[in-house]
Structure 1
Amino acid sequence: MPAVPTPAVSTSALSSCASTDAVLAARRRFFSGAPVAEDALAQPILRSWTRCAARGLGPQSRPRAEPLTDSEFAARRERHEALRRRCRPELEALHAAARAADSIVILTDPSGLVLDTVGSADFADRAAKVALRPGVSWSEAETGTNAIGTALVERRPVEVRGAEHYAEANGILSCAAAPIHDPFGELVGLLDLSGPASVPHLHALALVELAAGQVEHRMFEGAFPDHSLVRFHADPSFLGTAREGILVFEDYRLIAANRPGLALLGLGWDALEAKRFGDLFEGSLGKAGEERRVRTRRGDVIMRLERQGTPVRTLSPRAPQPAEPQPAPARPPVAPAPGPRFDAATERDLGRAVRLMEAGVPVLIQGETGVGKEVFARQMHRRGNRGARPFAAVNCAALPEGLIESELFGYEEGAFTGARRAGFKGLFREADGGVLFLDEIGDMPLPLQSRLLRVLQEREVTPLGGGRPVAVDFALVCASHRDLKQLVEAGAFRADLYFRIAQYTVMLPSLRTLADREVLVDRLWAELAGPCPDAPALSAECRAALAGHDWPGNFRQLVGVLRVLQALAEPGHILGVEDLPAELRAARRSVGPSPQPAAPGDAAARDLAARDLGAVTRATIEAALVACEGNVSEAARRLGIHRSTLHRHLAARGSRGGH
């Protein structure tokens, strides 16, 4: 995969500009074993020829791909039905644009299997003679150098004309293909425009790139509820088009993007989960719907923020938001992330918390890591009378210490070196009218606690640089996994601030204390599997073992282990205790008839649990890599995690010497 994604249109380096005679001369040299000059062919073509030769393919070999049976093909098409629906407008538009060139438009799945074709019936008949039809794979390994298979290997748009095809039989084709990436950088399909090699197709590659960009752009519509979407471009006229950059942030952490967005910042897909908003832009996310100029490492851009998943969301002036929320057009639903659903007691606490929040009483949520504190806070926001206003979440432990004040309180023009010319409002003012959620407030530095206390008392924010106080109105919800009472006793947290924010405290239960944990395991397992008829199942013994485990990481840890089990299980398989990670089996065996539980707060016990979890993680990653023959992308897909996350685990393993 290239370090920097290909921009929406940048084809000149990848399309072949060699004459037919030059290509034929390069073929003769290549297949005779003579070296081929680098400028004799486009580099993707030469690399592909080299790969094909290494696989033992010959230029006169018959393609290895056999058409799928009708039932097999129907199953594959059904698996990619959402992609087919999303791409249908582009298939028709490409067909209309290329009708005069006697061409066909092709949609494939990520492996190169042809799913749909639209276009010239006459040329389709000729193409079928070389198996360019639905139900046949055009992967490079099976068919040799071709635009579909080579673009999938190169992970970028590629054009292959006439004799540039590895197999001589395919020399009748001139093809241009562009892969389709999802917001996480994974290949989900490909668009191809193919026609007779005897007809010039000057703009074919640009057309398929634009079409693929349109498909990728629409993938962000409604796909990230409760996240912050940043749309930006150096030229404001590109906002709202497929050429705009799109970045998705979760608590200031970059989790998804489109190719133009990464290219505009000079980044690759490995930036996902590794970069934060402050690494890319000055200041903070800003207010939803507001267009403002911000500085990046490559210069100024115009940025607009959308917060998806709330009823009031200001979009581009080109598409004003109606006063009443309208039903969204039908599209494949985005499955919610499995996680905590509150028991009856916690539901009662939630109802009380909502009523108190509406009465202006601050609420403090306490509980171990992974129990769902932010989920609880977001439910308070949704169910309360401020549900149509902003929900501003601030992770006090994640903000850089030197920038906490400016991020929270904002600053005036020229307040410090590097400050934006227009100043910055700050997160507290962004929460105006809505809910301010201060997560991990126990990690807030003492000097900042006094400023926060003053804001809560006076309901005014004074930006850095001597600005005039600005009135703010927000409901306050705080959370921490640390015992704030103990921090107060130790002098690490202000007593007056504690009594101000903890007027009502909710203690969320840990997973191990919940009743009916087997029912919970079943629910999470079903949510992960989705509507899959041959999904693997859990045996009664396996369910009991999962329900009986201690789960120091609570829901977050349980969901992670279930993802691993589901990713590694064969379809229809019934998982037993023997399929559990080794450390869970060992922990189960170590429980005797009269176990002596560790005392609450026992640091050694917590350390042992953490090391056990790390061993589980390492063991399951190793198993996935072995099953996928070292293919990191496939292993990440099986594990249900992003490729960059798996790379970080592997890097950490390497730093420990592989142990």
Structure 2
Amino acid sequence: MVTSTLSERHAHKLSAAAAFGQPPGAAGGLTEPDDRGASGGLDLSPTILQSWQRCLAQPDLDPLRPREVQVLDSVLLRERAEPLAALVRLAESELRILLESFAGSGYAVILTDAEGVILRHLADRTLERELRAVGLWTGADWGEARFGTNGIGTCIVEGRPVTVHREDHFLRQNIDLTCSAAPIRDPDGRLLGVLDASCCAAEDSRSGQALARALVCKSATILENQHFLRQYRDRRVLRLHDRPEGIGLPQECLIALGEDNRVLAVNGAAPGLLGVGDRAALRGRALAEILSGDLEPLLLGVPSKGGTIRALHDQARGQRLFGFVYQYRKPQRRADPRVPAAVAAKTIGPNPCRADLCTLETLAGSDPGMQQAAARARRVMNKRIPILLHGETGTGKELFSQALHRASERRDRPFVALNCAAIPEALIESELFGYQHGAFTGASREGRRGKIVEASGGTLFLDEIGDMPPAMQSRLLRVLETQEVIPLGAERPVQVEINILAASHRDLAQLVVDGGFREDLYYRLNGITLHLTPLRLRGDLEELVLRVLEAQNDTGAELRVTPAAMAALLAFEWPGNIRQLRNVIRTAVALCEQGIIEVDHLNLPRLPRTAAPAPAVIADPQTLPAGAEGPLKAAEIQLIRDCLDRHGWNISRTAETLNMSRNTLYRKIDRYGLAPS
């Protein structure tokens, strides 16, 4: 009955689309939609009607005939995604934050290219089968010409945010979907891709999707701004807003400046703030023509990541603006990196950690996702808001928690860590809650205070919280609610004041659904979730490698890293993992001779290879006949260099293409002195 009703309404909307734009009374008396989107009593906006008209003009689009999802194979998808690799890396953290905003509401978050092909999607695991069934999957083409009116495809054609709710979809097979999408543009205003949030069974009305669209628009703007700052990371960028607290928020105005203080590019917020029609009206103009106030305090300040926010009186418009000049400071790439001798390590709590490595600034580096995590952490760390760190095993969750503790008002109080996965279930209760003498056979005569009591007044870090036994989850919840703990064998509770940091590589929300984690404890711990970027996705890997090298250099002398060794460290597809990076570097420091780290000193395990195109075959100069080495060697060098550049110096992919092992490729890079341009 419901399906029948939906079909009738769908047919009615088809008639409305066919009649849209015709004189009143045409096509069965349907009236042209007014500005509120009404049409013959139907809740259908002009945007949707125009899209349906475009779809009706497509001879191969039949609204009642099921259409097969077209999914690109892995090779074609990789080729399509390669030009947008930087955007995909930037988007990883923002996609997770956006998904967190929709937690429990059945939404998937999706990033596509400018033609509607899905490059990345994130969703609750319980939705995977449902999403596959409707075609919301990585590699699927959701262009309007392919799949009719839908959030992604219609957003691309319209060039602005749209919501396509249930029966708004042109194809009847999609009428259970609700999609809100927003465009992502480059600094010149060209479309880069689309950010979308889609739900397979939204119950509320079309007008009720306003919040979903607002969240998507906000995240899309954040991505645009991050992409802008990355695109102009070698230039000064003036960051402006009409409120000082607006600097760094999505609505801030970004202006990239040339050496002569002329505008190179602006972001999407600039025309509105500066009162001009579009971005093109600002490009190429002198900044003094756009802003009439005294610019010297802004422009003569030292560019930095933080910057000093200054007030500017724009006399021409009679408005007061605030801003500072920003310039990304990336460590200079050196053909022969040298790492200074380490100073004595300092100790934080029970774990050795160099003070200059255990800071939020150092761990965040210049990676946008990590910088965002550090910024959000600073805002809540002194407000007794529980923080949940999520990241793959080895992404540095404990290091991050130590750095967060050191930056907080509790820095002089204890930092106590407990790995819930590393302690046997029978011992975790006594480790966490403590015990009195005689509580059980073998108990220490002095008893034990327990981690919670030890951390009172400071920070308790519970790593791998998802592996905590259910009985301990209940006791921990009570401690958090009452701020008191009863040790084993004791009768009186001990008052405590603890600040909890928890971490897990597992999806706690999914564990709650599966019954493996208490829902009330999850919400008690999840005041805010911070996602830590995996090492292989970080955009500042070289900077991080040099810092870890410095931290692990216990030789008392300066170290030198060959270009090939650095290229190998940067090209390795790290499966997580700062811990592995530290182990590899620690081993290399121990093995190196005369202070020089070479490829052979790097214990990089070979990862499984994926299927690759037919390889090119090149000759090894050592097997060439006499007299042939000269020209063939030059050809080999050129081929290796071209292949490395084509694959972005990804050693694994280059080695597969050239049909050689990674170690052989490393040796050739070292022998020929090749380095990334």
> TM-score, with normalisation over the residues of structure 1?
0.43
> TM-score, with normalisation over the residues of structure 2?
0.42
